[in-house]
Structure 1
Amino acid sequence: MAEHTENSDSKGESLMEKITEKLHGDSSSSSSDSDTEKKPSSPKKPSSPPKSVKEKFFGLFGGKKPVHQIFGGGKPADVFLWRNKKISAGVLGVATAIWVLFELIEYHLLTLVCHISIFSLAALFLYSNAIAFINKSPPRIPEVHLPEDPFLQVASALRIEINRALALLRDIACGRELKKFLAVVTGLWVLSIVGSWCNFITLFYICFVLLHTLPVIYEKYDHKIDPFVEKVTIEIKKQYAVFDAKVLSKIPRGPLRDKKKA
């Protein structure tokens, strides 16, 4: 009889424990549900690519400097990148007018200079006589002096670039850099083909227009251009590796390379 009462007591205690556990579980689940309902789900941030992927390719110009600094960061860079639209449009318009005069109308430089000089002298002569006849006093025509500093800066910049080109050509002629030799020969060959299509003025005008359009397009759409350039660069490196293994590696080395390796 005592055992029966003990079993019934233990069963009652176990039943009560189950009921209390169920009640606690329901309350905790309901509280967690209410907490989740109170707290709105925060939008997931897009996962950024790892640094190794970002640092794998630095863009068309290396990616270390913006395009404005690559072009010098001064007034020429502002003109090429259309920081001041009026100045850039004016420069491009003057270049277009010069190209139309010399290429389409077939005006010659000496003829143009002479005609401009005749028109300027005639206008100043008539102006000075009209002022002297009306006011009876000699007119004041301002003196024009060209500053020295801009010409010296242009000459210095040209001298530096010419010296760099001569040093590069000297290194290529000595047979030290085969890649540079092939790149320069290919560039000169392409330039000769383009030169056979048009004259120097047209070629200069095309380069001038490209300088006013391509940097702006790249600065605006660099996130789309850089992956494409990366793919092209990888493909070129693969083709060059195949060409190097099949052709360039079989070319006998010159004496300068043997001395350098020794």
Structure 2
Amino acid sequence: MADPMNQSSQISSSQGLNDGHSASSKDSKFSVTDLVHWRDPKKSGVVFGVSLLLLLSLAAFSVISVVSYLLLALLCVTISFRIYKSVIQAVQKSNEGHPFKALMEKDVTVPPETFRKHVDVCLTHVNRALKQMSRLFLVEDLVDSLKLAVVMWLMTYVGAVFNGITILILADILLFSVPPIYEKNKTQIDHYIDIARTQVNNTIAKLQEKLPGSLKRCKAE
């Protein structure tokens, strides 16, 4: 007959292993959403700081200079560490081998299945975008095409004030600042968004009512 104490200890140990496995899997599934919502302030702070520093560097220097400096800095760190470990091994007369041996033995190649999977996903998005562009520029729906025209007209003013790097810097700042603010004031923000959406939908409905009959029939088709 089995000992109840042994059974309970086995159950608790298996539960502990499951909890540890679930915790590790939870950590591995740290997504972009968690990153921009600052679930882990250290990770979010590092990513935000590095991305902002990179964009500011691109604003001050050329892409070639920034990439060259980054690779040069990385090489300086790895070469210095390699020389340091070689000197330490020579002084201590140890035989630890190459300091980056564990990293060198890792497989950094991209499996063909993974590559094909990402290519298929990208191809799906590209085809969807091409279909949408065809629908808008060939004026399948006059209202939607007019919306695009208004957005492009506004973007001409944005482009006259900001360049591409400045827009990316602002987008990076907004990406890491807006989600926490929205999460704290979700009710009030959703209320004002609903009001704005209602006003826009009413305006679009009034414009659609004033369209000529031929355009209405074309839209209905």
Aligned residue-pair number: 183
C-alpha spacing 1:152/1:190, structure 2 compared with 1 (3 Å): farther
Output the CA distance in 2 between the equivalents of 1:207 and 1:157: 25
Indicate the residue corresponding to 2:63 in structure 1: 109
What displacement does 1:74 show? Answer: 6.0
TM-score by length of 2: 0.65
Indicate the residue corresponding to 1:206 in structure 2: 170
* 1:171-190 C-alpha deviation (Å, 9 max, x unpaired): 22343222321222222222
Output the CA distance in 1 between the equivalents of 2:151 and 2:80: 54
Indicate the residue corresponding to 2:34 in structure 1: 78
**Residue correspondence of structure 1 range 1-262 to structure 2 within 5 A:** 75-103=31-59, 106-136=60-90, 139-142=98-101, 143=104, 146=108, 148=110, 156-246=120-210, 249-250=211-212, 252-253=214-215, 257=218, 261=221
What displacement does 1:257 show? Answer: 2.3
- The structure that has the greater radius of gyration is 1
Output the CA distance in 2 between the equivalents of 1:252 and 1:211: 43
Output the CA distance in 1 between the equivalents of 2:183 and 2:129: 28
C-alpha spacing 1:124/1:77, structure 2 compared with 1 (3 Å): closer
Please tell me the residue identity of whatever aligns with 2:99. Answer: R
Structure scoring higher RCO (CA < 8 A, sep ≥ 6) equals: 2
C-alpha spacing 1:151/1:212, structure 2 compared with 1 (3 Å): farther
What displacement does 1:224 show? Answer: 1.1
- Structure having the higher helix fraction is 2
Please tell me the residue identity of whatever aligns with 1:170. Answer: S
* % identical equivalent positions: 19
C-alpha spacing 1:131/1:194, structure 2 compared with 1 (3 Å): same
**Which runs of no fewer than 5 residues in structure 2 stay unpaired?**
1-28
Please tell me the residue identity of whatever aligns with 1:114. Answer: S
C-alpha spacing 1:110/1:244, structure 2 compared with 1 (3 Å): same
**Which runs of no fewer than 5 residues in structure 1 stay unpaired?**
1-72
